[in-house]
Amino acid sequence: MKAITVLLLMFTVPMGCLAQSPQSDRQQFIRVEAPVIALAHVRVIDGTGAAPREDQTIVIRDGNIAAIGAAANTPAPNGATVVDLTGKSVIPGLVMMHEHLYYTTGPGVYGQLGVSFSRLYLAGGVTTMRTAGNVNGIMDMSVSRRIAAGEMVGPAIDATAPYVNGPSTFLQMHAITNTDLARRHVDFWADQGATSLKAYMQVSRAVLKAAIDEGHRRGMKTTGHLCSVTFGEAADLGIDDLEHGFLPATDFVRDKQPDVCPGQARGQQALAEVDENGAPFTALVKTLVDKHVALTSTLTVFETFTRGRPMPPGLDVLAPQLRDAFQRAYDRVQQNPESVYTTLFPKAMRMERAFARAGGLLIAGTDPTGAGGVVAGFSDQRQVELLVEAGFTPVEAISIATLNGAKYLGRDARIGSIAKGKQADLVVVNGNPAATIADIRRVETVIKNGVGYDPQKLIESVRGQVGIW
Ligand SMILES: [Zn+2]
């Protein structure tokens, strides 16, 4: 008896010290849940880049799209819950590829926001996401697992292992100094449920190669925010994806030493001087396209570094201290006319467009890092707007942020576009984002696996708390 009591104490006392469980109250966020749902008289923007189709009906059964067609010939089945969406649009749920469950909360410190960010991503229309970088350790996998089990609300998450990096000044990263450690890191986190890898700025070519190969053996793709390794070298090593468009490329730094990061600033200075129509840049694009390396656009985070840009959306949900901290960072940016981003931000847009036009797989993400101001969910909508500013049509931009992400994940047979037989991951938008992309912010309902969530309730549940949990 005594032993059992002690055991019980051992397990109950520490648990009792933890904050309340986030798993309750899924029901409070649900707007519509029924065995059969018919979305009637809706404009369909299907995610393939095709022109919108007016006055359609979509029948959702058991979480899947059971039928889709002109409203006149697509009756709602008997007993269906019918939602009249006259004047409104549906787009596929966003598939966003550079998200995080953390946020900049102090100098060199990233706070774990697994609960609030999951809700905000879903509220913003994100139904699938990759955490392209993890400083939370097991949290990314735990959140992914619990969302999949229906115990928490949020998007389906491709959970990335903690960063694959060499020695660095980052407090929340491992220093992986040899290939044996790299393989052990990959295997350990794969066993914990990580499904992808992210390499970082100080990684060596040898460690990156070992991680890529071990990852592929375990069914995981590798992406990177690189610096010590050039884009061209990483493509040769077999990397699957590169983050932040071309902005971290050190390929054009003249005296680049192998395995050494010359500093992000030097890389960007070199990039600012590169002729984007010249042979060296065109050759790099061709290498990436030929080797099937995807490129992730994260214009949202760079917009916060660029003078003269509007305040980003969603700041009002942040904890007040973090809202003030971002306001100060924003003011500093406005006072710096020398910033390289003045020319580099529009150039980054043109380079991403060049990559896509050359046949590369451009995918979209947001990267809630920097000095703050990239707020989950809100920034995902902003990223689509910025792709339109970069020169894509609204339906092309939506396709980049939906079907292209699904293709990268190898899940495009199930998600990423609106078609019969696919999973019912849909965003109901008040307005017509094919004509006015800003309407993508007017989300009325986010349907994931056939269940409709109320974005306002999700947002209200975390208002003023984002940055704390
Ligand atoms: Zn990132």
Q: 100 alpha carbon to ligand 1 midpoint, in Å?
A: 7
**What pLDDT is stored for residue 26 in this prediction?**
85
CB atoms within 10 A of CB 438: 14
Q: What is the 3-state secondary structure (H, E, C) of 179-194?
A: HHHHHHHHHHHHHHCC
The alpha helices in 127-178, defined as continuous H runs, are 139-148
Output the DSSP codes for 245-289: TTTT--TT-TTPPTT----HHHHHHHHHHS-TTSHHHHHHHHHHH
Dihedral sign for Cα atoms in the order 370, 374, 375, 377? negative
> 106: burial class by Cβ within 10 Å (0-12, 13-18, 19+)?
exposed
SS3 117: helix
Q: 38 alpha carbon to ligand 1 midpoint, in Å?
A: 38
Q: 459 alpha carbon to ligand 1 midpoint, in Å?
A: 23
Q: String of b and e for 380-418 (b: at least 16 CB within 10 Å)? A: bbbbbbbbbebebebbbbbbbbbbbbbbbbebbeebbbb
Cα 234 from Cα 379, distance rounded (Å):
28
Query: 41: phi > 0 → left, psi -120 to 50 → alpha, else beta; which?
Result: left
Q: 301 alpha carbon to ligand 1 midpoint, in Å?
A: 9
Q: 170 alpha carbon to ligand 1 midpoint, in Å?
A: 13
Q: 134 alpha carbon to ligand 1 midpoint, in Å?
A: 9
Q: 159 alpha carbon to ligand 1 midpoint, in Å?
A: 13
**Is-contact 319 465, C-beta < 8 A?**
yes
To the nearest 10 degrees (0 to 180), the angle between helices 279-290 and 341-357 is 50
> Rounded to the nearest 5°, which phi and psi values hold at 246?
-95, 0
Q: 285 alpha carbon to ligand 1 midpoint, in Å?
A: 22
**What pLDDT is stored for residue 24 in this prediction?**
56
How far, in Å, are 94, 204, 303 from residue 124 at the CA level?
A: 9, 37, 19
Q: Which of 196, 193, 101 is nearest to 154 (CA)?
A: 101
Q: 366 alpha carbon to ligand 1 midpoint, in Å?
A: 8
**What pLDDT is stored for residue 252 in this prediction?**
98
Q: Which residues of the chain have pLDDT under 50?
A: 1-18
**Token code pair at residue 93:** 């749920």
Q: How far apart are the first and last CA of the chain?
A: 39
**Token code pair at residue 386:** 């910025």
Q: Which residues contact 237 (CB under 8 A, 6 or more apart)?
A: 205, 208, 209, 212, 229
> 64: burial class by Cβ within 10 Å (0-12, 13-18, 19+)?
middle
> Rounded to the nearest 5°, which phi and psi values hold at 68?
-155, 135
**What pLDDT is stored for residue 341 in this prediction?**
95
Q: 303 alpha carbon to ligand 1 midpoint, in Å?
A: 14
Q: Residue 427: enclosing H or E segment and its boundaries?
A: strand 426-429
| β partners of residue 99 | 131
Q: Is the pTM of this model over 0.75?
A: yes
Q: 350 alpha carbon to ligand 1 midpoint, in Å?
A: 21
Q: 2 alpha carbon to ligand 1 midpoint, in Å?
A: 50
Q: 105 alpha carbon to ligand 1 midpoint, in Å?
A: 14
Q: 102 alpha carbon to ligand 1 midpoint, in Å?
A: 9
Q: 258 alpha carbon to ligand 1 midpoint, in Å?
A: 23
**Token code pair at residue 29:** 């966020």
**What pLDDT is stored for residue 25 in this prediction?**
74
**Is-contact 312 379, C-beta < 8 A?**
yes
Q: Which residues contact 376 (CB under 8 A, 6 or more apart)?
A: 99, 103, 113, 116, 117, 120, 121, 124, 126, 314, 366, 368, 466
Q: 199 alpha carbon to ligand 1 midpoint, in Å?
A: 11
Q: Which of 437, 444, 427, 453 is nearest to 92 (CA)?
A: 427
Where do we find the tokens 């992986």?
176
Q: 279 alpha carbon to ligand 1 midpoint, in Å?
A: 30
**What pLDDT is stored for residue 22 in this prediction?**
55
**Is-contact 393 315, C-beta < 8 A?**
no
Cα 261 from Cα 415, distance rounded (Å):
38
Dihedral sign for Cα atoms in the order 147, 153, 159, 165? negative
Supply the DSSP symbol for 306.
S
pLDDT tens, 204-226? 999 999 999 999 999 999 999 99
Output the DSSP codes for 347-413: HHHHHHHHHHHTT--EEE-----TTS---TTHHHHHHHHHHHHTT--HHHHHHHTTHHHHHHHT-TT
pLDDT tens, 408-467? 999 999 999 999 999 999 999 999 999 999 999 999 999 999 999 999 999 999 999 999
Cα 390 from Cα 381, distance rounded (Å):
15
Q: 25 alpha carbon to ligand 1 midpoint, in Å?
A: 30
